[in-house]
Structure 1
Amino acid sequence: MVEDVHKDDETGALCMADYSSEPTAAATIQVLVGIPLLIQQFGALFKKNIILSLRNKKAFIGQLFSPVVFILLLVGVEKVLNSGYMSSRTIDVRDPEPLVIPPVPPCETKFYVQLPCYDFAWSGNASPRIQSIVEKIMLNNPGRPIPSNKVKSFKTSDDVNTWLYSEPLHCAAALHFIERSATVISYGIQTNDSETILRGVTEDPVFKFQLPLQIAADREIARVLAITPKLNWNVELKEFAHPSTEYLSAMASAGWVFLLAITMFPFISQIGSLVAERELKLRQAMSIMGLYESAYWLSWLVWDTVMICIASLLTIIVGLISRFDFFVQNSFVIGFAFAVSTLLSKSSAANTVGFFVFIVGSLTGMAPSEVVDQFSQKIFRILWNFFPPNIFGQEVTKLNTASMTGNGIAWSGINKCPLPGVPCSTMVRVSLKWNLANLVVWFFLALYLDNVIPNSSGVRKSVIYFLNPGYWTGSSAGGSTSDIPLLDEKNLDKDEDVLEEERTVRDQMKEDYKMSNDSNIAVQIRGLAKAYPGRTGTYHAVKGVWMNFDKGQLFCLLGPNGTGKTTTINCLIGNIPVTGGDALIYGNSVRSSIGMTNIRRIIGVCPQFDILWPEISCEEHLRLFGSIKGLPPSLLDSIVKEALANVKLAGAAGVRAGSCSGGMKRRLSVAGALLGDPKLVILDEPTTGMDPVTRRHVWDVIEYAKKGRAIVLTTHSMEEADILGDRMAIVAKGKLRCIGTSIRLKSRFGTGLVATVSFAENISRQFPVDGDAVTDEPHHLAVKQFFKHHLNVVPKEENKSFLTFVIPRDKEKLLSDFFDKLEDQKNEFGIGDIQLGLTTLEEVFLNIAKKAEFENALNEGNLVTLTLTSGKKLRIPKGANYVGIPKTESEENPRGVLVEVIWEQDENGFLKMSSHSKEYPVPPNAKIIASNVKPSEVPRVDQPEVGVIYDLTDSEASNLRSLSRKIL
């Protein structure tokens, strides 16, 4: 049904068509349950994840293509490393070229040499022949004779070793000569054969120092023994053909860190998404609609697995294009991410946690498996392997080692060690099993932590909740959720209507009243109580509420912020468990798990704050909500379009929620609450932020929605409550203060009746435009004197067209004769019309709120500061009406003076001081309520005095209210 909205041709006023048609088809459809509903919810949530990812392009591209970026960075690192790596062992040598042996190089060319340095040292200086040979080596060094100060001689090789130990890095090589006979001279060469690298260039001591000295020594010994000083001695070196025996691989040296960084992107994204939905209460809202926990987790598990598989495939392709011999990926981290997400309350913490895991994992994951196997206790080894980066690091090491052999590891070889013939502590097969174990264990740990760690509403299950049969069967009857003592309210004063409501509910409980489909009661609240433990004592948010909500009616639950109405609603919808009492919704107890499951199938909730995804459109939101509620796919399109039209969002169906105004978001939330024809609709301040025309339209939608269902409405707009509410109750400080119809509340808790006297048009024209002379006009003076003489009241409001009087309740008996007399003098006074009505609901609300605040202030010593016109300050209980000023007694005013304090609601719904009257004498019969209120905190010396609190009769109060007030 879509209502007709048009303008009246004569008046131009906005008109709404009468909602007289039959209910929508949604009212008669059968919603899905069980496995079909699970499948539908999974599909809707999976689609939601796709939409969110595609519309959050930066995060989506980062998660999908970050592995490609890291692999390309790894390729760049490898190119840089190998560009300066000079060694014949790093390349294949098939037809070696002959190399001319270079001369003995200067010692200064050695990497990291210490000055002063020597080209070489030698031993055997006791032999003249050997001295001659060394001199010829120095003199005949090709291209560069070696100076004598660059060579150091010793007697024995031991002397050389002693010097080398005492002066490290001062000499590149040493020759040790021994003259064994006239024809035999032997020698040995001593060098440090360790390769060193400087700026990517490798220094090979064999080719750079050993061979030049060896050729020089051979040449000069041959010349001496052959007695041929000019003996030609040309030697070339040709190495054997060989494959490359070593390779400086970026994957081997830094690949582990890069691969771990690749895993962190999906890890952080997974944590952030899960925590954000819990932080913004999106998941809680879906749970209220009846979302299966299994569907929620399964949708994320499958989605993250798909994303990681795509990222892995892209990474493998880039790795193959880059000609890497190695690759491995990371699906084990999903379960770990789920578990970590349950420990976080803010999505912004995901980056911090991801960085921490990366730092720790990059250190622990590099530990060889052989080192881990040295742990003395097996439990330590098991716990070590349950940190995913650790087992991942072992896999990287094995696969990298195998890839260096040129063979890698095939699937058929997962039971073998990476290097044939070299023993290893764990096979690849074992590592894969540990990966699977990590996924399963961390996933189920995530489910457990999700239940035992407090959610966004501070609710959690018992640490052994899974041992309760009722958790699995749903048949638990519930019980007191904690050992918090309930508040004994037997001796506390209660309003007569509140007591009557309580007696009705109690009688129905005694009679075992059945809330069947034929029953007129939709919701029955039975002594509902909610308390929270605190450091300074127990805080009772709801103190034993007894109420019935009838079908086909709208019940307004009113009260200042922080007084228990939202807590009551949260107990009804299962957001928080009750401490005491119970509530039945269509016969289902909120304390039973199966009852709560049934309740969530038949309720619709519009929360106080819009719980929407900014990236998802209005239509997509309702499709998601409808799928979660189990609406059949064949009817979902028509139901969603109708719901959008009902709240005037048909033209904004494709607009994303993040681009909607505040009023549009509220309308979308109202549409979501009414979706699927719920039997109970809870609307928490539904019209906040709407313009007057749209608000009126939504009121019509809500009014029509009452047919066949119960609606609970909370609002701070007394006009809204007055128009929509069939019954209403005001809750303050956790207690039900009053209950009944709007007229009932106004007549019992208002300040009295409101009489409005309108003057004839010819009388109003006699005033100047500015209206300064209103109070002196004879007709006005006559009417005011008439009211003052007969009822002792003065105008509350006055202008040239009318006068408004508030008549106290104790004057009601006089009104019949009074208005007869006023009617007789109507023409004389120039009266055009007389209207009599009740005070506004807002005044009733403020009276109740003030009384509650005042009672609480007296009990707890909650004092606020009142600044008088004179500048003097008093401390008074919050909600006090009439405050006497201490030490103002005089002969003229023997009881001193007082002021009336005016209170109002602020924009957040809390009571605040608005103004106070002039100072007036305390009436002779005024009763003192409190004169020595003790503040809750220890008073300071410089604090103001505490005022005296009076109680005035209606007549005395009426006189004071009519006097001028000054704004604080």
Structure 2
Amino acid sequence: MGPIFFLAFSMFGFVLQLGSLVTEKELKLRQAMTMMGVFDTAYWLSWLTWEGLLTFVSSLFLVLFGMMFQFDFFLKNSFFVVFLLFLLFQFNMISLAFVLSSFISKSSSATTVGFLVFLIGFITQIVSATGFPYSNAYPASRRVIWSLFPPNTFSAGLKLLLDATSTPASSGISWSERAVCEGGMSTCVLSIDIIYQWQVGTFLFWFVLAIYFDNIIPNASGVRKPIFYFLTPGYWTGKGGNKVEEGSIFSCIGSVPPVEHVAPEDQDVLEEETLVKQQAMDGIVDPNIAVQIHGLAKTYPGTTKLGCCKCTKTSPFHAVKGLWMNIAKDQLFCLLGPNGAGKTTSISSLTGINPITGGDAFIYGDSVRSSVGMSNIRKMIGVCPQFDILWDALSSEEHLHLFASIKGLPPASINSTAEKLLADVKLTGAAKVRAGSYSGGMKRRLSVAIALIGDPKLVFLDEPTTGMDPITKRDVWDIIQESKKGRAIILTTHSMEEADILSDRIGIMAKGRLRCIGTSIRLKSRFGAGFVATVSFTESKKDYRNAAGDSHEPVKRFFNEHLKVEPADENKTFMTFVIPHDKEKLLTGFFEELESRKSEFGISDIQLGLATLEEVFLNIARRAELESATVEGTMVTLDLESGISIEIPVGARFVGIPDTENAENPSGIMVEVYWQQDGSGSMCITGHSSEMRVPQNVQVTRPPSPNALGHKGLRQAVRGIVIDL
């Protein structure tokens, strides 16, 4: 029973270590440390140092307790002989845990695998007790293969030490006798000294293999290096881009088709791209630019995976399709876009989590394609990821101390820096409370504090205020505003109010491409529906209802006669009108007359402003969906109030009703379709306007036939006519 107990004791730490390693990978804790500047070498050495210390202590106490309880095994054999056998075996299990953690993605599976390894070790221990394969009766190749599994050499060593103390007359094995064989040196195939050599060799073997598998097995982002990455010059010199791939190492076919360059339709985006390209050609380094993005592209390749009796093919996916832009220092650049637009992928590429497929990006002059450049970049960036990556067992104070040390802050300043950041994000009262008990908003605040620690030159904030209450959100906005000084900030958010308040420039992405760029006012003036006029009514007027109907009718007629617009929203207290940009010249005289007739109309207040940023966002997203739907033939059904159902492309705004042309309406009848994003980010129809006449001389696009697109179920469908106004 002794060998079984020794094996179980030594394997206990292995199971715990394997679970901890996989948990860090599953929760993306290692990824967070990598983004903040931790090298892979430092990561593995920290684990090896900690586990090595635990191994040393556990081996020491095991031997000391064995001697204290007067077991012959520990008393007769040399202390150092026994201690070194246990120590080297547990070091072997540390490196084996490193290897296995590369293949396991769930912590629940890690525990199962750990106990499975123990069970296999128990079985092979019984086999090793028979002498297999450590005798001249077996070829050396079998001994080599058998000895690669650490419990086998450990069992063989235990057998030698037990045999040396099996009788009262046995004196055990001393340190000087560790190389002595029972059968004589001429036929010696196994001794304690040989077992030590095997244990040192297998430890190095598994440790090197762990580093190799860690690089070629897909990580949490599905990224891996080529199988022969260590043979590339860039790996050793740190210069140039080391080719990194995505997908499983069992993919039998992989392809990364190039992204077709499409000239931007928007003039501002085209000017930005032209400027960046010209600077790149001329070799101009603008000291006021923090980030230069040169045609950044990210494609997840199509693969063919071997499965049970079949191959599963996946098509390539272009997540980012050539991004060109500059991001200036001392500014906050807000990157907006619907789900799947490529925002988070772009940030992951800039922080080195996802290697880029094409193009390049330079952060303060360092390329993200270079391993040396990426190492320099990680020293000067801070990242608040989209989802909180925190240790549940650590407090917010301990988190900040950890990342401050990673960033290289002087030990004397760590406490004061952490206290200031905790006060800024309103976490001083919970500084010593475990992060696992925090609410979602508290975790986001801690993530923001971590991103700002170490005075980074560039900060990435990926939806930083998600889950915060309005008061705390405002406090965090103040922190972000103050943090602009001396650094650049890249922010992504789904809050248009947040983008409007914080950003100096805004870029909106959709379907992997940059669709517009500029200040908030610039985007509203170019892509908004126009001006928004809100008319509020007096108390006496809003309560009055005459037999003729709505008391607001005179105001409606006034707007319709002068500006040809109908209310976009109305109730008893106010009306909202959206006035197109082409009516701008009429507004001065119109509002002067409206102001003079306020008493007549029962108006208490008139407000005029630009369209909201949310309207701009939806307009850009809708256009991108229409572009994609036109190519792919994605259709949805629009049910009209007249009872007619027509099929229209996703995102179409003005749609003509087929077969409505007549003498009065030579171009036919159309409706305006209202779109909104649902919870998953997909465009859906929320309603449509009343029927109106199609203006003459407008561009009409007839969607492709559903039958030609393979939409068998739409054979009898009435297809709407897309009208470009």
TM-score (normalised: structure 2): 0.88
Cα distance change of structure 1 residues 418 and 884 upon mapping to structure 2, 3 Å threshold: farther
| Matching of residues 623-638 of structure 1 within 5 Å | 623-638=401-416
2:151 corresponding residue in structure 1: 389
Conserved 8 A contact 1:774-1:799:
no
Greater Cα offset, 423-432 or 264-273: 423-432
User: Pick from 532, 555, 559: which aligns with 1:754?
Assistant: 532
2:711 counterpart of 1:939: yes
Superposed, 1:815-964 pairs within 5 Å as 815-866=587-638, 875-883=647-655, 900-908=672-680, 910-917=681-688, 920=691, 923=694, 925=696, 927-932=699-704, 934=706, 938-941=710-713, 945=717, 947-951=719-723, 953=725
Deviations 1:168-194 (A, max 9, x none): xxxxxxxxxxxxxxxxxxxxxxxxxxx
SS at match of 2:605: strand
**Corresponding residue for 1:68?**
none
Q: 1:866 to 1:323 in 2, by over 3 A?
A: farther
AA aligned opposite 2:49:
V
Shift of 1:574: 0.6
Amino acid at match of 1:521: I
- Which of residues 24, 29, 42 in structure 2 aligns to 1:277? 24
Q: Which of the residues 250, 253, 270 maps onto 1:499?
A: 270
- Alignment of 1:570 with 2:326, yes or no, is no
Residue of structure 2 equivalent to 1:520: 288
2: CA distance between counterparts of 1:609 and 1:586?
26
Match of 2:376 among 592, 595, 598: 598
8 A Cα contact 1:505 1:546, kept in partner: yes
SS of equivalent to 2:224: coil
- Structure 2 partner of 1:15: none
Residue 569 of structure 2: aligned partner: 797
Which amino acid is 1:836 matched to?
L
Amino acid at match of 1:523: V
Aligned residue among 467, 470, 474 for 2:238: 474
Matched, 1:665 2:443: yes
Matched residue, 2:112: 352
Residue-by-residue CA offset, 1:848-878 (whole Å, 9 max, x unaligned) = 0011111112212333455667887655432
Give the deviation of 1:302 after TM superposition.
Answer: 1.6
The question of whether the paired residues in 1 share the 8 Å contact of 2:523 and 2:616 is answered with: yes
2:102 aligned partner, one-letter code:
T
> C-alpha separation between the residues in 1 aligned to 2:628 and 2:8?
57
Work out the CA distance in 1 between the residues paired with 2:417 and 2:177.
Answer: 57
CA 1:865–1:777 in 2, change beyond 3 Å: closer, same or farther?
A: closer
Asked if the contact 1:858/1:933 (under 8 Å) is kept, the reply is no
**Which one-letter code corresponds to 1:454 in the other structure?**
P
Distance change (3 Å), C-alpha of 1:818 and 1:941: closer
1:536/1:296 CA distance change after superposition, 3 Å = closer
CA positional deviation for 1:632:
0.7
Q: Does 1:441 align with 2:209?
A: no
Q: Is the contact made by 1:860 and 1:935 (CA closer than 8 Å) also made in structure 2?
A: no
**Structure 2 residue aligned with 1:401, among 152, 156, 163?**
163
Q: Percent identity?
A: 54
CA distance in 1, matches of 2:418, 2:428: 10
How far is 1:943 from its partner?
7.8
Measured after TM superposition, the shift of residue 889 of structure 1 is: 8.2
Q: Is the 8 A contact 2:276 2:294 kept in 1?
A: yes
* Corresponding residue of 2:281: 510
2:122 equivalent among 356, 359, 362: 362
Instruction: Tell me the distance in 2 between the aligned counterparts of 1:873 and 1:832.
Output: 42
TM-aligned CA distance change 1:574 to 1:426, over 3 Å: same
Q: How far is the alpha carbon of 1:376 from its aligned partner?
A: 6.5
1:509-588 equivalences in 2 (<5 Å)? 509-515=280-286, 519-534=287-302, 535-588=313-366
Q: Distance in 1 between matches of 2:546 and 2:15?
A: 73
Q: Kindly state the Cα deviation for residue 373 of structure 1 after the two structures are TM-superposed.
A: 4.5
- Quick check: 1:883–1:901 contact (8 Å CA) kept in 2? yes
Shift in Å, 1:544: 0.9
**Helix, strand or coil at the partner of 2:107:** coil
Q: 1:937 to 1:301 in 2, by over 3 A?
A: farther
For the structure 1 residues 918 and 798, does the alpha-carbon distance in structure 2 shift closer, same or farther, using more than 3 Å as the test? closer
Q: Note if contact 1:901-1:913 (Cα within 8 Å) is conserved in structure 2.
A: no
Structure 1 window deviating more from structure 2 (689-698 vs 418-427): it is 418-427
Match of 1:24 in 2: none
Aligned-partner Cα distance in 2 for 1:935–1:284: 48
Query: What's 2:426 paired with?
Result: 648
Distance in structure 2 (CA, Å) of the matches to 1:342 and 1:645: 39
- In structure 2, the partner of 1:765 is 540
Partner of 2:13: 266
Q: Would the alpha carbon gap of residues 667 and 419 (structure 1) be closer, same or farther in structure 2, given more than 3 Å must change? A: same
| 1:513 Cα deviation after fit | 0.9
Contact persistence 2:380–2:458 (CA under 8 A): yes
Aligned residues: 689
Corresponding residue for residue 674 of structure 1: 452
Q: Secondary structure at the match of 2:210?
A: helix
**1:296–1:586: structure 2 CA closer, same or farther, 3 Å change rule?**
same
Q: Mark the runs of 5 or more structure 1 residues left unpaired by the alignment.
A: 1-250, 954-968
C-alpha distance in structure 1 between counterparts of 2:705 and 2:620, whole Å:
21
SS in 2 for 1:928: strand
Deviation for aligned residue 1:698? 0.5
Aligned to 1:315: 62
What is the aligned partner in structure 1 of residue 218 from structure 2? 454
Alignment check: 8 A CA contact 1:899 1:916 kept: no
> Partner residue of 1:720?
498
Cα displacement (A) at 1:946: 6.2
User: Which residue identity lines up with residue 443 of structure 1 in the other structure?
Assistant: F
Mapped contact 1:933–1:946 kept (Cα < 8 A): no
1:576-612 Cα deviation digits (max 9, x unpaired): 1111111111111111111111111111110000000
Whether the aligned pair in 2 keeps the contact of 1:887 and 1:896 (CA below 8 Å) is yes
Q: How does 1:51-66 map to 2 (within 5 A)?
A: none
Distance 1:917 1:423, change over 3 A: same
- CA-CA distance at 1:898 after TM superposition: 5.6
**Per the alignment, in what secondary structure is the counterpart of residue 542 of structure 2?**
coil
Cα gap change, 1:417 to 1:866, in 2 (>3 Å): farther
8 Å contact from structure 1 (residues 880, 949) kept in 2? no
Separation in structure 2 between the aligned mates of residue 938 and residue 405 of structure 1, nearest angstrom:
85
**Offset, 1:916:** 1.6
Corresponding residue number in structure 1 for 2:97: 337
CA drift at 1:308? 2.4
The alignment yields a C-alpha RMSD, in angstroms, of 3.0
Q: State the one-letter code of the partner of 2:258.
A: L
Contact 2:649 2:703 in 1 (8 A): no
Letter in 2 for 1:258: F
Map of 1:426 onto structure 2:
190
- Counterpart residue number, 2:580: 808
Q: Distance in 2 between the 1:318 and 1:933 partners? A: 83
Unaligned runs of at least 5 residues, structure 2: 75-81, 247-254, 303-312
1-side partners of 2:437 and 2:716: how far apart? 51
SS in 1 for 2:265: coil
Matched residue, 1:326: 73
Q: Which amino acid aligns with 2:633?
A: G
> Does the 8 A contact of 2:506 with 2:520 survive in 1?
yes
Partner residue, 2:308: none
Instruction: List per-residue Cα deviations over 1:794-841 (Å, max 9, x = no partner).
Output: 111223443211011222232233233333434433434332211000
Deviation, 1:269, is 1.3
- Following superposition, the deviation at residue 565 of structure 1 comes to 1.1
Aligned counterparts of 2:190 and 2:652: Cα–Cα separation in 1: 78
Alpha carbons 2:461, 2:490 under 8 Å: kept: yes
Tell me the equivalent position of 1:616.
Answer: 394
Tell me which amino acid in the other structure corresponds to 1:520. Answer: N
**Per-residue CA distance 1:45-84 (angstroms, 9 max, x = gap):** xxxxxxxxxxxxxxxxxxxxxxxxxxxxxxxxxxxxxxxx
Answer yes or no: is the 8 Å Cα contact 1:541–1:733 preserved in 2.
yes
